[in-house]
């Protein structure tokens, strides 16, 4: 028995040594540039992680089919948990990842961004929108809008298009996404002279009943209600507003995307709802139609914004790699310097916007598309 | 006018709390245990009804009856598997088991039905009655209140007049003595759970008819608020659950409307603390002196 134990121990130790050495100093031998990212592939947030992974897969497939520069993609599961994200990132590092796609969701991405910064690996996250993700890191870039930018862009849009004279806001006060947008919206609204007549809030625990919030907006005579929140709560608000015979314009942000595919939702409730979103699966331009078709064929569902963001990430990296003449035998650090240089001068057209540029702080500048829901589909406002 | 419409909104919200609280208080009153999985049985009931009415287009009544049946079976199973083996254990052990059961149900629901939210189709229609300008009562509220009152009366009669009810009250007072008198304590408690779970199914259907957002955690927060309402009204007291629920709803809406939407929950629970300090057994709770 004792002997047996020794044998097992030795076996385990040698296995460990082997796996530890396996990762060392080896460059990609397949001639492909290695791209890796982490995201929630299982658990409650899996819908976002899977979408990003699938979007990126389609882009890599397309690029590899062109011949020329080749990519190899690997996604690891972080279950929307910061600690697991770092473990997942370490797996990618052992695999000699050359360019990172960061993490799909904000909290894990803050953790992996610190790692990629320390290891000098260039990272471009498809969808982690918190400002902490990019703050103080020169090699961390975002494909999506940062939260504050959505708030000010919404205020700008409402003011420019004169969508409402009296504006009410309902936001969720225990959610950084919602409060972040709310705060910057208010700042911008002050600046532009938007008349905000009612500000009310709710939290996860009181997410059922909106009679008071809507009642206050109605009493104040608001003709536009701004809803910086995810579609779950928004669906309830639309339902209750209808029951109260209150019909202002409703204006949402990208969290509203998904409301039409909510199972059992009466889409007539969302008629006329406006939202700023960078991507719409119903758009009719060739790129989007092509992407939606491929995604549908491959995975049997309509892609959401996360899939489009990840798809754009891979193409933006592809463009930058070509311009910077990145090859698969470069080290991650060499690639990182080239990518930073390229990205700060890049002008990129993708599914989620045309003429995107990036600042030195890693935040993207693109113009959001105003959408309005008509007959159960998104239609461009402009 | 504002005041009246706030009162009506408060009653609408409170009636939902009340109907959930009835199930809590029923089980606590007889089995003397806090069934924290009650909120999640509600969620299961709502899902069953959702699948019947929205996916298979069955009439609402079929959905309600089937969800009552499923919840009753589920309630008995939970009791048999999780609580019965702990009949002799400390009440703390049972409480922790109930919390575990609650998480189990939530996660099982997530695996079975995914975490994607679903919109529940109201079983009583969407409309309501417009009393005057700005005063509006939805049918769901009326049905919920009617259901609360009917259930309250039925439970009171059942526990007061029937043989089974008498057995339940006996078990509640002293399990050991009840057993000596020839009452089958296990069966009695199982029946209590069966009734509590059937009530949970009704509560789930009405909860989701009023607030049609269905996710695996749908039952947990209303469950906790309803538990609060039951304590507020005097846990174990059947009319207390109704009064506690309605009052809690009204306080919540008033706090939101007249003070602040940001700290409404703090106010609700603040009021609860004050009430319990003044009257530790809740509004209608009985004071039981322990004999040594």
Q: How confident is the model at residue A31 (pLDDT cuts 50, 70, 90)?
A: confident
Same domain? A152 vs A244: yes
Is residue B1's pLDDT more than 70? no
Mean pLDDT of A319-345: 91
Is residue A107's pLDDT more than 90? no
Partners of residue A219 in chain B, C-beta under 8 Å: 2
Q: What does the mean pLDDT of chain B come to?
A: 88
Q: Is residue A17 included in any domain, yes or no? A: no
Q: Is residue B94 included in any domain, yes or no? A: yes
Is residue B53's pLDDT more than 60? yes
What percent of chain A lies above the pLDDT cut of 90?
A: 44
| pLDDT at res. A23 | 44
Q: Is residue A381 included in any domain, yes or no? A: no
Q: How many CB pairs under 8 A join A and B?
A: 87
Q: Is residue A301 included in any domain, yes or no? A: yes
Of residues A282 and A221, the one with the higher pLDDT is A221
Q: How many CB atoms lie within 10 A of CB B60?
A: 17
Q: How far apart are CA B55 and CA B182, in angstroms?
A: 47
Tokens of A297: 């064929």
Same domain? A360 vs A333: yes
Mean pLDDT of A21-40: 71
Is residue A152's pLDDT more than 50? yes
Is residue A214's pLDDT more than 70? yes
Q: How confident is the model at residue B89 (pLDDT cuts 50, 70, 90)?
A: confident
Structurally, how many domains does chain A consist of?
2
Contacts of B217 by beta carbon, 8 Å cutoff, 6+ apart: B43, B106
| pLDDT at res. A9 | 56
Q: Is residue A360 included in any domain, yes or no? A: yes
| pLDDT at res. A60 | 95
Q: How far apart are CA A14 and CA A145, in angstroms?
A: 47
| pLDDT at res. A180 | 84
| pLDDT at res. A22 | 47
Q: What does the mean pLDDT of chain A come to?
A: 86
Task: Among A208, A215, A264, select the one facing B119 at the smallest CB separation.
Answer: A264
Say yes or no for a CB contact (<8 Å) between A235 and B213. Answer: yes
Of the candidates A309, A318, A324, the one whose C-alpha atom is nearest the C-alpha of residue A366 is A309
Same domain? A90 vs A77: yes
| pLDDT at res. B287 | 63
Q: How confident is the model at residue A24 (pLDDT cuts 50, 70, 90)?
A: very low
Q: Does A208 touch chain B (CB under 8 A)?
A: yes
Mean pLDDT of B264-279: 87
Q: In this structure, what are the phi and psi dihedrals at residue A378, rounded to the nearest 5 degrees?
A: -75, 135
Q: How far apart are CA A86 and CA A103, in angstroms?
A: 10
| pLDDT at res. A145 | 84
Q: Is residue A376 included in any domain, yes or no? A: no
Same domain? A44 vs A140: yes
Is residue A114's pLDDT more than 60? yes
Q: Is residue B263 included in any domain, yes or no? A: no
* A257 φψ region: left (φ > 0), alpha (ψ -120 to 50), beta (else): beta
Lowest mean per-residue pLDDT among A26-35, A52-61, A156-165, A199-208 = A26-35
| pLDDT at res. A1 | 52
Q: Is residue A6 included in any domain, yes or no? A: no
Q: Is residue B287 included in any domain, yes or no? A: no
Q: Is residue B195 included in any domain, yes or no? A: yes
Give the domain range for residue B195.
Answer: 18-220
- pLDDT tens across A184-196, in order? 999 999 999 899 9
Same domain? A223 vs A238: yes
Q: How confident is the model at residue B104 (pLDDT cuts 50, 70, 90)?
A: very high
Say yes or no for a CB contact (<8 Å) between B116 and A173. Answer: no
Same domain? A76 vs A111: yes
CATH number for the domain harbouring residue A253: 3.40.50.2300
A378 - beta bridge partners?
A373
Q: Is residue B3 included in any domain, yes or no? A: no
- Residue ending a domain, among A277, A301, A326, is A277
Same domain? A273 vs A176: yes
Say yes or no for a CB contact (<8 Å) between A263 and B116. Answer: yes
Task: Among A44, A209, A265, select the one facing B119 at the smallest CB separation.
Answer: A265
Q: Is residue A313 included in any domain, yes or no? A: yes
DSSP 8-state assignment for residue A145: P
Same domain? A263 vs A174: yes
Quick one: three-class SS letters along B266-291? HHHHHHHHHHHHHCCCCCCCCCCCCC
Q: Does A244 touch chain B (CB under 8 A)?
A: yes
Same domain? A158 vs A258: yes
Mean pLDDT of A325-329: 89
What percent of chain B lies above the pLDDT cut of 90?
A: 37
- Interface ipTM > 0.85: no
Is residue A18's pLDDT more than 70? no
Say yes or no for a CB contact (<8 Å) between A264 and B252. Answer: no
Give the domain range for residue A94.
Answer: 33-145+285-366
Lowest mean per-residue pLDDT among A40-44, A57-61, A148-152, B178-182 = A40-44
What percent of chain B lies above the pLDDT cut of 70?
A: 97
Q: Is residue A5 included in any domain, yes or no? A: no
Contact between A143 and A320 under an 8 Å Cβ cutoff? The reply is no
Q: Which residue has the tokens 């396996």?
A: A22
pTM above 0.90, yes or no: no
Same domain? A223 vs A171: yes
Same domain? A206 vs A299: no
- pLDDT tens across A245-260, in order? 889 999 998 778 778 7
Q: Is residue B204 included in any domain, yes or no? A: yes
- Residue ending a domain, among A235, A255, A277, is A277
**A351: burial class by Cβ within 10 Å (0-12, 13-18, 19+)?**
buried
Same domain? A139 vs A209: no
Is residue A2's pLDDT more than 60? no
Structurally, how many domains does chain B consist of?
1
């Amino acid at each position: 028995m004792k002997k047996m134990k020794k044998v097992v121990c030795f076996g385990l130790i040698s296995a460990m040594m082997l796996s530890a050495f396996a990762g060392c100093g080896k460059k990609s031998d397949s001639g492909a540039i290695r791209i890796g990212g982490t995201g929630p592939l299982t658990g409650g947030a899996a819908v976002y992680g899977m979408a990003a992974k699938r979007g990126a897969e389609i882009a890599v497939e397309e690029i590899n089919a062109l011949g020329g520069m080749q990519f190899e993609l690997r996604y690891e599961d972080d279950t929307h948990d910061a600690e697991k994200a770092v473990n997942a990132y370490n797996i990618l590092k052992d695999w000699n990842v050359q360019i990172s796609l960061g993490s799909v969701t904000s909290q894990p991405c803050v953790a992996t961004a610190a790692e990629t910064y320390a290891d000098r690996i260039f990272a471009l996250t498809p969808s982690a929108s918190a400002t902490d993700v990019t703050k103080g890191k020169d090699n961390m870039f975002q494909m999506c809008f940062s939260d504050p930018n959505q708030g000010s862009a919404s205020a700008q849009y409402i003011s420019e298009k004169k969508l409402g004279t009296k504006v009410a806001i309902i936001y969720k006060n225990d959610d950084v996404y919602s409060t972040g947008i709310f705060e910057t919206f208010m700042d911008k609204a002050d600046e532009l002279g938007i008349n905000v007549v009612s500000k009310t809030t709710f939290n996860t625990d009181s997410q059922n009943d909106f009679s008071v919030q809507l009642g206050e907006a109605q009493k104040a005579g608001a003709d536009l209600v701004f809803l910086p929140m995810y579609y779950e709560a928004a669906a309830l608000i639309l339902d209750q507003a209808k029951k109260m015979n209150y019909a202002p314009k409703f204006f949402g942000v990208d969290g509203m995307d998904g409301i039409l595919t909510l199972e059992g939702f009466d889409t007539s409730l969302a008629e006329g709802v406006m939202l700023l979103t960078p991507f719409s699966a119903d758009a009719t331009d060739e790129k989007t139609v092509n992407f939606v078709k491929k995604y549908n064929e491959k995975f049997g569902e309509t892609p959401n914004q996360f899939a489009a963001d990840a798809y754009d990430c891979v193409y933006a990296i592809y463009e930058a790699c070509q311009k910077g003449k990145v090859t698969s035998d470069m080290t991650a650090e060499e690639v990182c310097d080239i990518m930073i240089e390229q990205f700060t001068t890049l002008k990129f057209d993708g599914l989620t916007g045309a003429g995107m540029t990036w600042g030195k702080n890693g935040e993207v500048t693109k113009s959001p598309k105003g959408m309005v829901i008509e007959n159960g589909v998104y239609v461009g406002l402009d | 006018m504002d005041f009246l419409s706030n009162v009506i909104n408060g009653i609408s919200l409170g009636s939902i709390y009340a109907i959930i609280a009835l199930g809590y208080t029923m089980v606590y009153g007889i089995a003397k245990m806090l069934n924290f999985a009650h909120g999640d049985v509600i969620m299961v009931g709502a899902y069953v009804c959702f699948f019947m009415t929205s996916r298979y287009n069955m009439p609402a009544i079929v959905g309600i009856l089937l969800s009552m049946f499923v919840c009753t079976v589920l309630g008995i199973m939970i009791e048999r598997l999780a609580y019965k083996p702990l009949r002799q254990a400390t009440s703390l052990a049972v409480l922790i088991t109930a919390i575990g059961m609650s998480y189990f149900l939530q996660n099982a629901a997530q695996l079975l039905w995914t975490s994607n939210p679903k919109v529940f189709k109201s079983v009583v229609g969407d409309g309501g009655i417009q009393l005057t300008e700005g005063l509006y009562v939805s049918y769901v509220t009326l049905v919920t209140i009617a259901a609360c009152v009917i259930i309250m009366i039925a439970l009171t009669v059942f526990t007061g007049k029937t043989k089974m009810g008498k057995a339940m009250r006996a078990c509640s007072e002293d399990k050991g003595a009840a057993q000596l008198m020839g009452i089958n304590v296990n069966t009695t408690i199982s029946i209590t759970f069966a009734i509590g779970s059937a009530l949970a199914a009704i509560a789930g259907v009405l909860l989701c008819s009023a607030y049609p957002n269905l996710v695996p955690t749908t039952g947990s927060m209303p469950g906790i608020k309803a538990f609060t309402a039951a304590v507020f009204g005097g846990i174990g007291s059947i009319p207390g659950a109704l009064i506690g629920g309605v009052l809690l709803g009204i306080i919540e809406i008033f706090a939101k409307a007249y003070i602040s939407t940001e700290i409404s929950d703090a106010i609700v629970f603040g009021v609860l603390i004050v009430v319990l300090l003044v009257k530790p057994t809740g509004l209608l709770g009985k004071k039981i002196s322990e004999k040594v």
